[in-house]
């Protein structure tokens, strides 16, 4: 009996992925539950396992290809492998590329010219999107529209003069672009050396979605500064006992997470999203924590952060950050956040304007702590200060609301005992 391995339903907003690598070849034995192929999305990598024990009978799609939900990846012949399975795999030719299914339209939202993956594929194939008729909602250009335009262009005969030989048949499909080899990746002219580094699919999609966030949201940023004296003194007094009791240090992120929750309770429109002409207010607090990974920024989510203690928040943030850097996060850990925190201060950033993590309408940017002279009670004193930046979607959040939200965070951070009352 043969069992098909297909692209699973990853999440409502994720319909496409790239085949990153095959762990098995045709003819290789595979155990039930053993990973067989790894898919890459703009959120995280996702390993697909075989449901049965047997032999990889056929690999349908190749590394580097873009696939959509329910696409056939491979076929596993259930049962014990034969003794010459490996040898058969070595002699087997590379499987032919199967015809790609049209991509499903991406998540609904304000009308845009093209879906993110349509833009990525158009860039790869050199397709002018202004010349492609969109079949998606509101005339939006989809990935399927771009691929159809590529096929039509390939099938169109080139002009032939009487002295020219007959044109060769056009290729039916454009193979995936291979990664540049070290020799091809560098071009040297004298001492002016350049290096070509192809963007990964994840990086391409991240770039498209960040730009789409700028084009869609009415994004604005407001700033304030916070005196970190009280928190730093509290950490100095309590950190040793906290670490001994909980097995983790008391960091700044738990304070800012709790402060953000307190401010979100007071200003609920910053814990919302826009769906068409409706505003969806979230009465739960799933806080995204931006983490810089090797191949791009990811935002794992601390679920129900309002119900967690300081120690639980610190432990979860540490675990999520470590697994993000090791590329071991699951799709479910990256979806559904209601508000995001990003701390550029750990890299030395003094001030920045963070970009919204759509469809969220608010993101809080933290920065480095720097001793600065400030006026306090008529005197100039030196205090550890941090600039805060709140970027928000002005379509549903008014300027005065955003300013008061940031002031509320400042009040809670400067008076840590108030955070206990907020809990």
CB 406 within 8 A of CB 390: yes
Length of the chain, in residues: 423
Q: What is the dihedral of CA 318, 322, 327, 328, to 10 degrees?
A: -70
**3-state secondary structure (DSSP) of residue 58:** strand
> What span, in angstroms and rounded, lies between the C-alpha atoms of 409 and 270?
13
Please confirm, yes or no, whether 398 is among the known catalytic residues. Answer: yes
Percent of residues in the chain assigned helix, strand, coil, to nearest 5: 35, 25, 40
Distance in angstroms (rounded) separating the CA atoms of residues 372 and 156? 67
The residue annotated as part of the active site, out of 304, 326, 394, 415, is: 394
Report the distance separating Cα 261 and Cα 66, nearest Å. 39
Report the alpha-carbon distance of residue 403 to residue 270 in Å, rounded: 12
**Peptide bond between residue 240 and the one before it cis (omega within 30 degrees of 0):** no
Helix (H/G/I), strand (E/B), else coil: 381 = strand
> What is the distance between the alpha carbons of residues 420 and 423, in angstroms, rounded to a whole number?
5
d(CA 307, CA 285): 9
Other C-beta atoms lying within 10 Å of the C-beta of residue 101? 15
Q: Which residues are catalytic?
A: 394, 398
């Amino acid at each position: 009996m043969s069992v098909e391995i297909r692209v699973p339903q990853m999440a409502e907003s994720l319909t496409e992925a790239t085949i990153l690598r095959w762990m098995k070849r045709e003819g290789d034995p595979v155990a039930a539950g053993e990973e067989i192929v790894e898919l890459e999305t703009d959120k995280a990598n996702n390993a697909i396992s075989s449901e049965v024990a047997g032999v990889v009978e056929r690999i349908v799609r190749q590394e580097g290809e873009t696939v959509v939900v329910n696409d056939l990846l491979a076929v596993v012949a259930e049962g014990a492998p034969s003794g010459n399975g490996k040898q058969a795999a070595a002699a087997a030719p590379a499987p032919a590329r199967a015809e790609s299914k049209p991509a499903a339209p991406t998540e609904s939202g304000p009308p845009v010219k093209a879906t993110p993956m349509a833009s990525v594929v158009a860039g790869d194939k050199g397709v002018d999107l202004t010349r492609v008729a969109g079949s998606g909602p509101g005339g939006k250009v989809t990935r399927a529209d771009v691929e159809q335009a590529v096929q039509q262009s390939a099938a169109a005969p080139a002009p032939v003069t009487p002295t020219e030989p007959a044109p060769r048949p056009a290729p039916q499909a454009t193979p995936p672009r291979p990664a540049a080899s070290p020799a091809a990746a560098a071009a040297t002219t004298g001492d002016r050396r350049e290096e070509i580094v192809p963007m990964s699919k994840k990086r391409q999609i991240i770039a498209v979605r960040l730009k789409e966030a700028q084009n869609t949201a009415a994004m604005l940023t407001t700033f304030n500064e916070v005196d970190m004296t009280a928190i730093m003194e509290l950490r100095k007094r309590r950190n040793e006992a906290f670490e001994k009791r909980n097995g983790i240090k008391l960091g700044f992120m738990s304070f800012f997470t709790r402060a953000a929750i307190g401010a979100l309770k007071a200003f609920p429109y910053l814990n919302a999203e826009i769906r068409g002409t409706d505003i969806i207010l979230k009465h739960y607090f799933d806080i995204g924590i931006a983490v810089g990974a090797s191949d791009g920024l990811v935002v794992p989510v601390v679920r129900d952060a309002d119900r967690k203690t300081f120690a639980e928040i610190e432990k979860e943030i540490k675990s999520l950050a470590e697994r993000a850097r090791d590329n071991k996060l699951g799709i479910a850990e990256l979806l559904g956040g209601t508000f995001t925190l990003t701390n550029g201060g750990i890299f030395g950033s003094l001030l920045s304007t963070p970009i919204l993590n759509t469809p969220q309408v608010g993101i809080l940017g933290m920065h480095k702590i720097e001793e600065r002279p400030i006026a306090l009670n008529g005197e100039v004193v030196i205090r550890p200060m941090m600039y805060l930046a709140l970027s928000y979607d002005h379509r549903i959040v008014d300027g005065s609301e955003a300013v008061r939200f940031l002031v509320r965070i400042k009040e809670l951070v400067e008076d840590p005992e108030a955070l206990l009352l907020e809990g």
